[in-house]
Chains A and B, each alone.
Chain A
């Protein structure tokens, strides 16, 4: 007796264990691509944002234009951002990364700059009085004190990047977005729901991990509260 193919895949159900087991490799590949795209974008964004924020802090006149530029970049919708980069990068993963870098950059610059500006003037003066030069002041006093604000920005940037990466499906490099896109075209409910849920899970886990990192690297905030 042969059983008719009457599993949840054939019935096109939203939740389907069969889907998870049979398409495990596709899912893992998509998760891998999603993690690579977002991690790379946020890291490049961070590497660019720190010097930009420090320079904008140092030269007061630069802060206005930098903040205006970040507002403009952040206002451009993701689909348009990726499309504007098409002539430069073509249909490539680099296009998605570049787009996500621009978004991460804007969020990070704003938050790091806010953190640097919030360092109390007395603290700066005390450090100078103790003989700290400008570089040492920046590295050992200002940047550490800006860490909580910077980490808040990093968390927002990471969560946004995880979510926005799905739009990369338009050029075929959207990580889990690819599965959502192809699932939409074939009305494959289990695939769309599974990929969507995985996206949210990645965002939440990344957020919690960064929260943990912040807890580890800013021990003085706990000491003050205790």
Chain B
């Protein structure tokens, strides 16, 4: 392929693909895939938070398990998402529809949540924690009224990293037969249709950037607590 001409044509063709309403309807259409992607991301983010945050908050409060909480992110990075998806697909979980996708998504969203929340809890000024104990607060009060509010920016940062990671993993899940916007890309490859591949990729990229943007806006709008 030479530069210039074909590239521009492909972009125009991808635009035509995106603006053709036939591509948005039906079970393999954009709306259905977009809904799948959104549901997968949100459901798995909620599950991951329910698993990771209590563990991170308790470990952070007690100051235990730091090596585990910090290193789990590095371990997560070394393990290819694609490999985990395929491995899960070949286990009995694979027979259960979106099972492998959900499990893989949660597995890859937990490490950043755990690490960031734990680090956030440990970075709370020790003097403040000691002062709250001196005021006679119980452990539970210290956790909820002092440590968690002060650690909130780091906790939310972890949620944001996890959300972006979830969008990316849900895309790769399409390679292993999972639903979501990635399917538009894989279907495009199977049809040898470069415009569809590019159109799918644009949709995925915009979706990911929107998720990132939502967190960016939420961070700006959030009330500033304990500004130093």
Q: A residues bordering B, Cβ < 8 Å? A: 71-72, 75-81, 83-84, 86-90, 156, 159-160, 162-164, 166-167, 169-171, 177, 180-181, 183-184, 187, 189, 192-193, 195-196, 199-200, 203-204, 207
For B, the interface residue count at a CB cutoff of 8 angstroms equals 43
Please, how many angstroms separate the alpha-carbon atoms of A144 and B54 in the complex? 41
Please, how many angstroms separate the alpha-carbon atoms of A176 and B10 in the complex? 30
Q: Which of A81, A162, A196, A207 contacts B87 (CB 8 A)?
A: A196
Decide yes or no whether B1 CB sits under 8 A from chain A: yes
Please, how many angstroms separate the alpha-carbon atoms of A86 and B167 in the complex? 21
B86 → A minimal CB distance (Å): 4
**For window 173-228 of chain B, which residues contact chain A by CB distance below 8 Å?**
174-176, 182, 185-186, 188-189, 194, 197-198, 200-202, 204-205, 208-209, 212
Given that A160-B77, A207-B78 are known contacts, is A83 also in contact with B198, CB under 8 Å in the complex? yes
**For window 59-97 of chain B, which residues contact chain A by CB distance below 8 Å?**
74, 77-84, 86-87, 89-90
- What DSSP secondary structure best describes chain B's contact surface? helix
A210 → B minimal CB distance (Å): 13
**A/B interface sample: 27 pairs, CB < 8 A:** A75-B209, A77-B171, A77-B205, A77-B208, A78-B171, A80-B185, A80-B201, A80-B208, A81-B201, A81-B205, A83-B198, A83-B200, A84-B201, A87-B1, A87-B11, A87-B194, A156-B77, A159-B78, A160-B77, A162-B78, A167-B172, A181-B175, A184-B89, A199-B83, A200-B79, A203-B78, A204-B78
Q: B residues bordering A, Cβ < 8 Å? A: 1, 3, 6-7, 10-11, 74, 77-84, 86-87, 89-90, 164, 167-168, 171-172, 174-176, 182, 185-186, 188-189, 194, 197-198, 200-202, 204-205, 208-209, 212
Task: Tell me if B79 and A80 are in contact (CB < 8 A).
Answer: no
B62 → A minimal CB distance (Å): 28
Task: Tell me if A79 and B208 are in contact (CB < 8 A).
Answer: no
